[in-house]
Amino acid sequence: MEREEGVMRVAVLDDYQEVADRYADWDAVAADVTFFSDHLADHRALIDRLSGFDVIVAMRERTPFQRPLLELLPALRLLVTTGMRNASIDVKAAIDLGITVSGTNSPGVATAELAFAMVLAMSRNLILEAGSVAKGGWQQRVGRELRGSTLGVIGLGRLGAEVARFGRAFGMDVLAWSQNLTSERAEEVGARLVTKGALLAESDFVSIHLRLSDRTRDLIGQAELEKMKATAYLVNTSRGEIVDTGALLAALDSGALAGAGIDVFDVEPLPPDDRRRTHPKILATPHIGYVTDATYRVFYTEVVEDIAAWQAGAPIRVLTA
């Protein structure tokens, strides 16, 4: 796009709900701000769209910024991401190219709430039963109570700890595992540290709360799913790549697993013909764990703060490689 001489240009990407302009005072930034609600996955199309912008605002990992793309955006000087971690941004490449990468705080509890909402929805077959009523039908299945059942939490950081507390509040026995978890940390939130194998074998519901890394990619595959009860449910609101999709679909198809609640996918937006959209044993949501009023207000308010501070030469929240 053509640049107006002397005016900084800001692109706000993947504003799916067309609400970004409402959550912050964009007038506090001396710039021409453009909001894009559609998602572009095509590399060439992204370059054509973004080539004239000095500042780009990325909403979480919706649009990846790897070296090949960054190298073809010569005007870009500031890349702001919501949150202080973004696995889809090559921060080292950005630094090499003279691009500052900054971030924002993230409230976090919203994703934990969605994870437990999925546990509740699957335990009482809410999607099936609500659909039956909408179509003129009535009761379809027998639900299960959470009290007395077992919740397994994989990853007991900020979000996992919240889910563990929710489970305890509902009278569930809570198990926890991660590679560096201690018994003391588990006990702080009312959970009991067990091995990964024991957690998978004993839990009625398993909820994943880990960061994506080389050691967590495909952490839950065929071998792990085979350890779970045929009556158990898996919830993933963390990162899609942590669960082997093929293995999960096979387990659901064969009846080796009762169901899954999924909010995160290896490709987003999820292709229209992806089986996970319509599988009868999958409760799929479009990565809305963090999509709440309170979270968006923090995200966009601090995005504007970062841009304004960067303009003024003041300190900002910088991501490092």
CA–CA distance, 300 with 298 (Å, rounded to integer): 6
Residues 6+ apart with CB under 8 A from 33: 10, 12, 21, 26
Told to judge if 287 belongs to the known catalytic residues of this protein, a careful annotator would answer yes
Alpha-helix residue ranges (DSSP H) falling in 80-157 = 91-96, 109-123, 126-134
Give CA 242 to chain center in angstroms.
12
Beta strand pairing call for 259-262 and 150-154: unpaired
CA–CA distance, 92 with 129 (Å, rounded to integer): 49
- Please work out, in degrees rounded to the nearest 5, the angle formed at the alpha carbon of residue 247 by the alpha carbons of 245 and 252: 95
CA–CA distance, 291 with 266 (Å, rounded to integer): 18
Residue 65 DSSP symbol: B
Q: Which residue of the set 185, 268, 279, 297 is catalytic?
A: 268
Please say whether the beta carbons of 260 and 208 come within 8 A.
no
CA–CA distance, 283 with 102 (Å, rounded to integer): 34
Q: Which residue of the set 9, 162, 287, 302 is catalytic?
A: 287
Q: Which residue of the set 239, 241, 276, 302 is catalytic?
A: 239
Q: Which residues are known to be catalytic?
A: 239, 268, 287
